[in-house]
Amino acid sequence: MALVISNIPIDVCKKNIKNLHLYVKPPNGRVTVSAPISMSDEAIERFVRTKVSWIKRQVGKFDAQPRQSEREHVSGETLFVWGKQYYMQIENGNRNSLVLSGNKAILTVRKESTALQRENFIREWYRERLKAEITRLLPKWEKITDLKCKNWQTKYMNTRWGTCNPKAKKIWLNLQLAKKTPECLEYIILHELIHLLEKYHNERFISLMDKYMPMWREIKSTLNGQTLDYME
């Protein structure tokens, strides 16, 4: 079910839960509602309408966040790696490479390369670094929580930092996390691991987050406040 209230699209999902939950999700302020199966569509809409002012404030916060301009990957553009800002320096060569040196990100590409080809190379460069960190950090949090996923993947996502399939015990982590400060990746890894045990963002989920990462709210705020990718 989908609603449009005050020109705001809202995704509604009915689940086997007792209470209705309203979310405005990072990184772009997507609005979702989880509602009990027994609740009528009219009752859900009435509830959402009472929250329109709050929804607009939250969406406005995401709209106001700084975003990178549309990427062409040319000299002078900025590149974020683990929360640090680098300035792109393009050099020509026969083999693609990206090297961080001081405050520069030296990208070597073929002279005739297109913006899309440079984007694809950089995205895979990010993937390699993110995978290496996940390989290092995931076992740490699996040991701490005694929760283990059977499989994980990285994926470029515009609406979620991570996602989890509890039944398959599989998690996906947003490729953009390689651009954010390191503690943000640990927060999302823990977040998705806990979803293996608790599907919903309920009191049990929050208590588990508090147990394993008492500062998670501050880290979440830091993550959602960092520069986002360009989006059309």
Closest CA to 150 of 127, 174, 171: 171
- pLDDT band with cut points at 50, 70 and 90 for residue 230: very low
Q: What is the mean pLDDT of residues 110-139?
A: 95
Query: Does the global pTM surpass 0.85?
Result: no
Q: What is the mean pLDDT of residues 101-125?
A: 94
How many whole angstroms separate alpha carbon 64 and alpha carbon 33? 23
Look at 29 and 40; give whichever has higher pLDDT.
40
How many whole angstroms separate alpha carbon 14 and alpha carbon 150? 28
| Residue the block writes with tokens 């449009």 | 4
Structural contact between residues 180 and 188, judged by C-beta atoms closer than 8 angstroms: no
Concatenated DSSP letters of 14-75: EES-SS-EEEEETTTTEEEEEEETTS-HHHHHHHHHHTHHHHHHHHHHHHHS-BPPPP---T
Name residue 105's beta-bridge partners: 88, 100
Look at 35 and 73; give whichever has higher pLDDT.
35
Is the model's pLDDT at 152 over the cut of 50? yes
pLDDT cut 70: percent of the chain above it? 91
Angle subtended at Cα 194 by Cα 183 and Cα 59, rounded to the nearest 5 degrees: 65
Look at 222 and 128; give whichever has higher pLDDT.
128
Q: What is the mean pLDDT of residues 188-193?
A: 98
How many whole angstroms separate alpha carbon 172 and alpha carbon 196? 12
- pLDDT band with cut points at 50, 70 and 90 for residue 18: confident
The 10s digit of each residue's pLDDT in 67-110 is: 555 556 778 888 999 999 999 999 999 999 999 999 999 999 99
Which of the following CATH numbers is that of domain 78-225: 3.30.1640.10, 3.30.2010.10, 3.30.1330.60, 3.90.25.10?
3.30.2010.10
Q: What is the mean pLDDT of residues 106-121?
A: 93
> Where are the chain's structural domains?
2-64, 78-225
